[in-house]
Amino acid sequence: MISRRIIRTKVLQILYAHHSTPDKSIDASEKELHFSIQKTYDLYHLLLALPVEIAEYAEKLIDLRKQKNFPTEEELNPNMKFVSNRIISRLRKNEELNRYLNQHKLNWSNNQELIRKIFQSLEESDLYKSYMHAEEDNFQLDKKFCEDFFTTIVLGSEYIFSEFEEQSI
């Protein structure tokens, strides 16, 4: 859900643009506001789909590593904690999220290089390493990992921001 703060910010931006352009009609400003809010919803849903896409990439990578000619013991029996994260599994199965993504044709399939870069930065992070090596395995730990993933990896990624700039989101 979009917060009231974001909506207020969008409204003020549109109002400022409307008043600074004297020949702009109120209908055009209203359409621009609706478009801006729709783009914010798109961003929200794309960000929810991001960990699912990264987990699918990790799963494919695990399968590729298993098929090597001389796989190591770790490659044959990988830690599947990230791939089977309970929050990511729920996002993967969420019908409303999938319906919205399908209706609006939103996905990360054209950005596999971005997914690879994000996964590499995640894999190198202390957050990922501590999560994967944690003794306990419960819903709260999975939830905390996903929260930290967004705050540290996603918000700290210049790749994602440049991609959103490119897509005008």
Tally of structural domains, the chain: 1
Between 130 and 2, the more confident residue is 130
14 falls within a domain: no
Half-sphere exposure at residue 64, Cβ-oriented, CA atoms within 13 angstroms: 6
Task: Go through the chain and tell me how many residues it has.
Answer: 169
User: What is the rounded CA–CA span in Å between residue 115 and residue 51?
Assistant: 9
37 falls within a domain: no
Q: What is the pTM of this model?
A: 0.83
Task: Choose the weakest-confidence range: 21-35, 44-58, 85-99, 142-156.
Answer: 21-35
Q: Which domain holds residue 120?
A: 50-166
25 falls within a domain: no
Band of pLDDT at residue 146, cut at 50, 70 and 90: very high
**CB of 8 within 8 A of CB of 38?**
no
SS3 of the chain: helix, strand, coil, percent, to 5: 75, 0, 25
35 falls within a domain: no
pLDDT mean across residues, the chain: 87
Checking if the pLDDT of 166 tops 90, the result is no
Checking if the pLDDT of 2 tops 70, the result is no
Q: pLDDT by residue (tens digit) across 9-36?
A: 878 888 888 778 878 788 888 888 888 8
Q: Which two tokens stand for residue 37?
A: 């809010």
User: What is the rounded CA–CA span in Å between residue 22 and residue 54?
Assistant: 46
73 falls within a domain: yes
**pLDDT the model gives residue 168:** 63
State the burial class of residue 20 (Cβ atoms within 10 Å of its Cβ: 0-12, 13-18, 19+): exposed
Report CA torsion sign: 98, 103, 109, 111: negative
Please name the residues in contact with 112: beta carbons below 8 A apart, sequence gap of 6 or more.
57
2 falls within a domain: no
85 falls within a domain: yes
Band of pLDDT at residue 165, cut at 50, 70 and 90: confident
